[in-house]
Amino acid sequence: MAKRPHGSRLGIITRRRILHWLAAMVAVLVVGTIIGLIWADTSDVAGLIAVVTNIVGVVGIVFLLISLAVVTRRQRQTA
């Protein structure tokens, strides 16, 4: 494997891959919201699923946005 100019693993992650994962996290957030709106008042399990998916979605989106900013900045610096 070739030596990367940056020591972190973010050097091998592409913007396209981050954008795909960002779309997946938005989908998780939407599904959690839909579950919460439809079934959360009738079932404790559905409410728990809605809360967990919303937390995972938001944390994932924040992490991916930070990763996208770092990767974009590094690509601009090397260009």
- 63: pLDDT strictly greater than 80: yes
d(CA 23, CA 21): 5
Quote the pLDDT of residue 9. 61
Mean pLDDT score of the chain, rounded to an integer? 83
Residue 33 CB partners (closer than 8 Å, separation 6+): 50, 54
Q: What does the pLDDT read at residue 3?
A: 55
Cα(2)–Cα(7) distance, rounded to whole angstroms?
A: 12
Q: What is the DSSP string of 8-71?
A: SGGGG--HHHHHHHHHHHHHHHHHHHHHHHHHTTT-HHHHHHHHHHHHHHHHHHHHHHHHHHHH
